[in-house]
Every structure is written in C-alpha cells, then in structure tokens.
C-alpha cells in the first residue's frame, strides 16, 4: 500500500507547484529554452509525470490518511491525556559508520520508494527529533588518524506532541542522560 505513496506524493506536488511553473517562466523569459536541472530532481520529476497522475495522487493521499489513522489508533502514535503520547518510539538514526565524501553513490533516478523507519513521521505527521547519544572512534583512511563519528537515535511521539517531545529531550539533558554537544570535530571534547 505504501511502496510508491511517498514518491507519488512528492513528485506530483514538486512538478506541479515548482517544476512546471519554473520551466514555463524560464522558457517565456529565455526564447523557449529549458533551464538546466540537476539530474536527481529532473529524474524524479520525469518519474512523477509518468507515474503520478491525478488519480494515483488521490490514491496516495488516501493511503497516507489510512496510515495516519492506523498510526494514531493502533500504532505508536496514540494520544495520552496525561503525557500527550502513549509511547515513545526510538530507532537508530546514525550508527557511527564512516561515509566518505569522496566515495560517490550512483545518481538518483527515481523518488524514494518503499517504506522505512524515517518515512513514518512524514506519513503520520508526527514529531521526530534526532538526538546524538555518543560517538565512535574509527581509523580514517583519509586523514590516517583516529577520528570520531556521531551515534544518534531518532525519537518520535504522537502527532501534536511536539512540545512534549522537545521537553523530554530537555529533561534528559538536565538529568545528564543526554549530554550537550560541542561544535567541531568531536561531540564531546576532552
């Protein structure tokens, strides 16, 4: 049900609200020329033109509503009158694995398809924050030195509990469960 929902949702609106008007105004001002668009967004817009018709877009909106209803009534996003959210959902956001900037990935050719942890907050309209919880040492093959990478988790609550979630993070820091981070090469300099 949700495999192509996000891809349809973003490409339909991006093309109709941004891409198409931009192409039209650019062409009108530049003797019919088309603007150069980065291959990633252009490929997603083209995918959307072929796959995100108005009828499929309407179905994607229905799927988002179904997911949001499930999340709020049976999933992790149930409200609680005392704490705002019946639960707190946490998952690993960054595990401290190296990812070098000079190792190039293949160019994106379509919008993100499928459903994963990070899609839930978007689909449910739920608040989510990324919180650093530590750092991991690794031997960098670029600097030939021990460097450090962050380890972070994502925390999510029920829709409308943005203040409760930010208050929780503040309280965890005040209780010294979470530590404040520094700018620079280390989250927690010695």
pLDDT in tens, 10-47: 899 999 999 999 999 999 999 999 999 988 888 889 99
Share of the chain above pLDDT 70, in %: 97
Helix ranges, the chain (H): 5-14, 20-29, 39-51, 54-73, 117-124, 162-174
Total residues found in the chain within this entry: 190
Residue 128's contacts (CB-CB under 8 Å, 6 or more residues apart) are 121, 154, 155, 156, 165
Q: Smallest Cα–Cα separation from 117: which of 85, 79, 75? A: 75
Angle at CA of residue 68, ends 47 and 155, nearest 5°: 95
Q: Report d(CA 111, CA 98) in Å as an integer.
A: 25
150 has pLDDT over 70: yes
Read off the pLDDT band of 109 (50, 70, 90): low
What mean pLDDT is predicted for residues 2-13? 91
126 has pLDDT over 80: yes
Whole-number pLDDT of residue 89:
94
Q: What is the residue whose two structure tokens read 């530049």? A: 30
Whole-number pLDDT of residue 108:
64
- Determine if the pTM surpasses 0.95: no
4 has pLDDT over 70: yes
Whole-number pLDDT of residue 24:
97
What mean pLDDT is predicted for residues 110-127? 85
Read off the pLDDT band of 101 (50, 70, 90): confident
- Provide the mean pLDDT of the chain: 91
Q: Smallest Cα–Cα separation from 138: which of 130, 148, 123, 129? A: 148
Q: Report d(CA 33, CA 42) in Å as an integer.
A: 16
Read off the pLDDT band of 138 (50, 70, 90): very high
């Amino acid at each position: 049900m949700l495999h192509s929902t996000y891809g349809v949702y973003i490409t339909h609106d991006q093309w109709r609200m941004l891409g198409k008007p931009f192409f039209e105004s650019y062409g009108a001002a530049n003797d019919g020329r088309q603007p150069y668009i980065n291959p990633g967004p252009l490929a997603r817009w083209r995918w959307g033109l072929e796959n995100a018709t108005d009828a499929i877009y309407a179905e994607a909106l229905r799927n988002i509503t179904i997911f949001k209803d499930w999340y709020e009534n049976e999933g992790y996003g149930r409200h609680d009158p005392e704490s705002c959210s019946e639960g707190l959902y946490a998952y690993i956001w960054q595990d401290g694995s190296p990812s070098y900037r000079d190792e190039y990935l293949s160019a994106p050719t379509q919008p993100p398809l499928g459903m994963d942890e990070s899609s839930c907050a978007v689909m449910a309209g739920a608040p989510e924050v990324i919180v650093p919880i530590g750092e991991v040492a690794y031997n960098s093959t670029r600097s030939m030195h021990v460097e450090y990478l962050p380890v972070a988790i994502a925390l999510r609550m029920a829709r409308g509990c943005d203040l409760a979630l930010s208050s929780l993070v503040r309280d965890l820091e005040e209780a010294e469960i979470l530590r404040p981070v520094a700018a620079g090469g280390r989250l927690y300099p010695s």
